[in-house]
Amino acid sequence: MTDLDAYRETARTWLNSVSGEFGRDARRGLAVEDDLALGRRYMATRFEAGYAGINWPVEYGGQGFGHLEKVAFDTEEMSFGMPSDYFRISL
């Protein structure tokens, strides 16, 4: 297993642990305003777990990983249907 595979697996495990609260099924039927509020809570939870700024330098609050780790996380995140699309440009 490569380091990238290990990172992907760790991310997938974390995403699975919060998918019941924030994932596709939790979002089903929500009004846009409620979905956006859920997205804000998800982004705060993601930050607390260390998954914000994955490829940002550590001195700026990121993890200091490369773009491959960022893409790996984003790919895993998409499969769970998390409410992060609202923040793609502003993050």
Backbone angles phi, psi at 46, to 5 degrees: -60, -45
Mean pLDDT of 64-91: 91
Q: Provide the pLDDT for residue 90.
A: 60
Contacts for 33 with CB less than 8 Å, ≥ 6 apart? none
Residue ranges of alpha helices (H) inside the chain are: 3-22, 24-27, 32-48, 67-80
- In this predicted structure, the answer to whether residue 44 has a pLDDT above a threshold of 80 is yes
